[in-house]
């Protein structure tokens, strides 16, 4: 009997344990060799060399730090430098959030990540009637340069990188960050960080859009152009699969839609007249880390390989940094449960380990109480300690990409890549990602996946510990963080004071100059910066764009 025949028999053989497990999970006989995963695909009982028969080391893997970067974008990865521990944080006023940032830095955080409240995300000032009741609930309120100055007061923004999760008003918030640094004598050229700035995923999943797609894309490309020429250390976009996954996408859909968004941004940048190597090295990504450990690792590896190939072969990028997929990861918020919340510590640790083994450049770990409220200090400290234990006690940083060559991992990586390309073909047939969004294609795909996933939980086909199995009647009390209502009053007073004390004639002049520029084709970043420096508010600037661009109302997709 030759090796191939022996492998075939081994793959087809069923153990007593498998038969017992099949009965336990109540699966039908025709599915007994496979397991449900977080995607729509299945996993075989055993993987062998036959599952990667066409595997080519140089083509598919290479060495870490070498094309196609399947094994990581840096030769030494976390052995040479740990990922940035960047905890997503923000609540209430700028003063309160500043205190939390200092707390996190004192406990070993190595990068900041700003969460903004809902009015800020939608481009409203705190005292706007549309903002009523939403102050500070899901992040910090920032209505003017004065708030940004307080938010980063006494924080060395010239030494530490800052990520800001902001999209429709991203150019304005970025301008406030730049202007606040300038007032401290810190030139924009040395600032490092990231603005999320990914408007396409808002139309697909998160729905925090303001303006229609085309003027929104114009604003994104304006930041690409301005950043390439004035802020060489700044990532002008974080192309985000995270929210796509949180909306219910599978791992393969998260991979495909995120990269397709990336391709769309590259096309728009080139159409603007930018050289691909002028802006592509500062494109970054943001992925989810969900529960299926190996599938998530395979997703990250496939993402790097696809991006490198497409940037090199499709878009003609010559700078190797344009081929790199550098990404931040956040553990899956949608996997957290209000029931038995301590279980979330375990979920987060597993997800974080997958992100590390998948080669992430920075990481946020969710806190155990986030299914209930904003994280308390003790909960966020445990979440940060989770990263530190992985980094310093687990040993996984001692070698680069330790899972490379695993039959299972390489087969999964190949499968993820194949599924992504199937979606790419469908998206291209619809005119690219913008055309696909306008037709509701990714929205429908995600909705159907979310429905299937929830149905599996409701029917018991998928186990969620503490939710539909392993239940307890024990009532768990979690100390919750409450928003300071007095803080909202102070925020409104500060905003009123800004309007009284600024040069309102100068503000009017600069908003009018911004309006004229928006009606034309000039890059809007210099005009936004001028308005911000004069203390024009976020809402005031967004109102100019609302007048010129209009507001987007999503159609009903059947």
215-249 pLDDT, tens digit per residue, is 999 999 999 999 999 999 999 999 999 999 999 99
What pLDDT, on the 0 to 100 scale, is given for residue 294? 97
3-state secondary structure of 114: strand
Checking if the pLDDT of 58 tops 80, the result is yes
Strands 84-89 and 193-195 come out as unpaired
For 546-555, give one letter per residue: b (16+ CB within 10 A) or e: eebbeebeee
What's residue 220's pLDDT? 98
Residue 347: pLDDT over 90: yes
Q: Which residue has the higher pLDDT, 266 or 38?
A: 266
Residue 162's SS3 state is strand
Q: What is this structure's pTM?
A: 0.91
**Are 402 and 325 contained in the same domain?**
yes
- Grade residue 11 by pLDDT with cuts at 50, 70 and 90: very low
364 part of a folded domain: yes
In a domain, 141, yes or no: yes
Which sign does the torsion angle of CA 430, 433, 439, 440 carry?
A: positive
Domain boundary among 442, 458, 474: 458
On the question of pLDDT at 32 being above 90, the answer is: no
Determine, yes or no, domain membership for 2.
Answer: no
Question: Average pLDDT of 298-313?
Answer: 98
Q: What angle do CA 124, 129, 135 make, to 5 degrees?
A: 60
Torsional sign, CA 23, 26, 28, 34 = negative
Asked if the structure places residue 201 within a domain, the reply is yes
How far apart, in Å, are the Cα atoms of 173 and each of 125, 216, 402?
Answer: 12, 15, 40
Confidence (pLDDT) at 480: 61
- Does residue 170 sit in the same domain as residue 208? yes
DSSP 339-378: SSTTHHHHHHHHHHHHHHHTT-SEEE---TTTTTSSPPHH
Helix (H) or strand (E) holding 251: helix 251-272
Q: Are 383 and 86 in contact (CB under 8 A)?
A: no
CB-based contact 285:359 (threshold 8 Å): no
What pLDDT does 38 receive? 52
- What is the rounded distance in angstroms from the CA atom of residue 129 to the CA atom of residue 137? 16
Kindly state whether residues 90 and 154 are assigned to the same domain: yes
> Residues 101, 154: contact at Cβ < 8 Å?
no
Q: Are residues 351 and 500 in the same domain?
A: no
Residue 21 inside a domain? The answer is no
Residue partners of 464: CB distance under 8 A and separation at least 6: 337, 457
Q: 222 and 144 in one domain?
A: yes
Tell me which residue range forms the domain holding 505. 487-549
Which pairs count as long-range contacts for 44-51, CB under 8 Å and 24+ apart, including other chains?
A: 44/11, 45/11, 45/14, 45/18, 46/10, 46/11, 47/406, 47/407, 47/408, 47/411, 48/7, 48/10, 48/11, 48/407, 49/7, 49/407, 50/4, 50/7, 50/8, 50/11, 51/407, 51/408, 51/410, 51/411
Q: What is the pLDDT of residue 485?
A: 75
Percent of the residues in the chain that have a pLDDT greater than 70, as a whole number = 91
CA–CA dist 61, 54 (Å, integer):
12
Q: How far apart are CA 58 and CA 159, in angstroms?
A: 38
Q: How far is CA 551 from CA 130, 198, 352, 377, 409, in A?
A: 14, 17, 38, 38, 45
- Looking at the structure, do residues 417 and 539 belong to the same domain, yes or no? no
pLDDT number for residue 39: 57
Judge whether 162 lies within some domain.
yes
The residues with which 329 forms a beta bridge, in sequence order, are 287, 363
- Dist CA 368 CA 333 (whole Å): 10
**468 exposure class (CB count in 10 Å sphere: 0-12, 13-18, 19+):** middle
Residue found by looking up tokens 């990540």 in the block = 113
DSSP conformational letter for 471: -
Rounded to whole angstroms, the Cα distance separating 12 from 222 reads 57
492 and 445 in one domain? no
pLDDT surpassing 90 at residue 557: no
Q: Is residue 466 part of a domain?
A: no
Residues 429 and 543 in one domain: no
- Which DSSP symbol is given to 397? T
Cα distance between residue 348 and residue 332, in whole Å: 8
Tell me: do 203 and 292 sit in the same domain. yes
Q: Tell me the per-residue pLDDT of 257-276, one tens digit each, with 9 for 90 and over.
A: 999 999 999 999 999 999 99
pLDDT for the residue 28 = 41
Residue 511, CB-side half-sphere exposure with 13 Å CA sphere: 21
pLDDT in tens, 115-133: 999 999 999 999 999 999 8
Q: In the numeric block, which tokens belong to residue 42?
A: 């299945």
Verify that 438 and 511 share a domain, yes or no.
no
Structural domain count, the chain: 2
Where b means 16+ CB within 10 Å and e means fewer, 53-87 reads: eeeeeeebbbbbbbbbbbbbbbeebbeeebbbbbb
Instruction: Give pLDDT, residue 372.
Output: 87
Over the stretch 84-94, which tens digit does the pLDDT of each residue have? Answer: 999 999 999 99
Asked if pLDDT for residue 104 goes beyond 90, the answer is yes
Mean of pLDDT over the chain:
92
Q: For residue range 434-480, what is the model confidence (pLDDT) as tens digits? A: 999 999 999 999 999 999 999 999 999 999 999 999 999 877 676 66
Distance, CA of 419 to CA of 175 (rounded, Å): 39
What's the N-to-C CA distance of the chain in angstroms?
A: 56
C-alpha distances out from residue 199 to 194, 315, 505, Å: 14, 21, 33
pLDDT higher than threshold 50 for residue 23: no
Q: Specify the higher pLDDT residue, 20 or 179.
A: 179
Residues 167 and 258 in one domain: yes
- The domain that holds 368 is classified in CATH as 3.20.20.240
Please indicate, yes or no, whether residues 186 and 276 belong to a single structural domain of this protein: yes
Which pLDDT value is given to residue 33?
47
Q: Tell me the mean pLDDT in the region 163-171.
A: 97
pLDDT in tens, 353-411: 999 999 999 999 999 999 988 888 899 999 999 999 999 999 999 999 999 999 999 99
The reply to whether 1 falls in a domain is no
Closest of 219, 154, 304 to residue 525, by C-alpha: 219
Contact 43, 34 (CB under 8 A): yes
Which residues contact residue 345 at a Cβ distance below 8 angstroms, ignoring those fewer than 6 apart? 368, 382, 383, 386
For the cut 50, the answer to whether the pLDDT of residue 27 exceeds it is no
pLDDT band, very low/low/confident/very high, at 21 (cuts 50, 70, 90): very low
Confidence band for 22, pLDDT divided at 50, 70 and 90: very low
């Amino acid at each position: 009997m030759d090796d191939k025949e022996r492998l075939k028999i081994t793959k087809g053989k069923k153990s007593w344990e498998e038969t017992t497990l099949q009965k336990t999970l109540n699966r039908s006989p025709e599915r007994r060799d496979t397991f449900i995963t977080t995607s729509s695909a299945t996993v075989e009982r055993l993987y062998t060399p036959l599952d990667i028969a066409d595997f080519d080391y140089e083509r598919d893997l290479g060495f870490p730090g070498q094309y196609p970067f399947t094994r990581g974008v840096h030769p030494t990865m976390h052995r040479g430098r740990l990922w940035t521990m960047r905890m997503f944080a923000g609540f209430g006023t700028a003063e309160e959030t500043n205190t939390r940032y200092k707390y996190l830095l004192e406990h070993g955080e190595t990068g900041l990540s700003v969460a903004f409240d809902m009015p800020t995300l939608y481009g409203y000032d705190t005292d706007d009637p549309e903002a009523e009741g939403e102050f500070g609930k899901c992040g910090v309120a920032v209505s003017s340069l004065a708030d940004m100055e307080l938010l980063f007061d006494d924080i060395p923004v010239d030494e530490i990188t800052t990520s800001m999760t902001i999209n429709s008003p991203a150019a304005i918030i970025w301008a406030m960050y730049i202007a606040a640094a300038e007032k401290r004598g810190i030139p924009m050229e040395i600032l490092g960080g990231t603005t999320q700035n990914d408007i396409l995923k808002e139309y697909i999943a998160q729905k925090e859009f303001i303006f229609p797609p085309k003027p929104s894309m114009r604003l994104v490309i304006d930041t690409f152009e301005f950043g390439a020429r004035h802020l060489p250390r700044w990532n002008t976009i974080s192309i985000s699969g995270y929210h796509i996954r949180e909306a219910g996408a599978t791992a393969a859909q998260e991979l495909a839609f995120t990269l397709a968004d990336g391709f769309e941004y590259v096309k728009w940048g080139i159409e603007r007249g930018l050289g691909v190597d002028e802006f592509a090295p500062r494109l970054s990504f943001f992925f989810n880390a969900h529960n299926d450990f190996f599938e998530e690792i395979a997703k990250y590896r496939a993402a790097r390989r696809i991006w490198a190939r497409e940037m090199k072969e499709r878009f003609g990028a010559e700078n190797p940094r344009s081929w790199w997929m550098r990404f931040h990861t956040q553990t899956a918020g949608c996997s957290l449960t209000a029931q038995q919340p301590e279980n979330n510590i375990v979920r987060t640790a597993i997800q974080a380990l997958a992100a590390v083994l998948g080669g992430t450049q920075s990481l946020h770990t969710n806190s155990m109480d986030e299914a209930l409220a904003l994280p308390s200090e003790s909960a966020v400290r445990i979440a940060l300690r989770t990263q530190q234990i992985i980094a310093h006690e687990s040993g996984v940083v001692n070698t680069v990409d330790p899972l490379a060559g695993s039959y299972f991992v390489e087969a999964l990586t190949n499968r993820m890549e194949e599924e992504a390309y199937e979606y790419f073909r469908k998206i291209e047939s619809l005119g690219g990602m913008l055309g696909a969004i306008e037709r509701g294609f990714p929205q429908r795909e995600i909705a159907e996946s979310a429905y299937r996933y929830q149905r599996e939980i409701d029917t018991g086909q998928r186990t969620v510990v503490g939710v539909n199995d392993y239940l307890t009647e024990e009532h768990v009390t979690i100390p919750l963080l409450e928003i300071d209502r007095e803080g909202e009053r102070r925020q409104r007073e500060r905003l009123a004071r800004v309007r009284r004390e600024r040069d309102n004639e100068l503000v009017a002049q600069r908003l009018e100059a911004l309006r004229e520029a928006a009606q034309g084709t000039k890059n809007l970043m210099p005009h936004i910066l001028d308005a911000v420096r004069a203390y024009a508010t976020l809402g005031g600037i967004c109102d100019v764009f609302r007048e010129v661009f209009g507001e987007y109302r999503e159609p009903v997709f059947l």
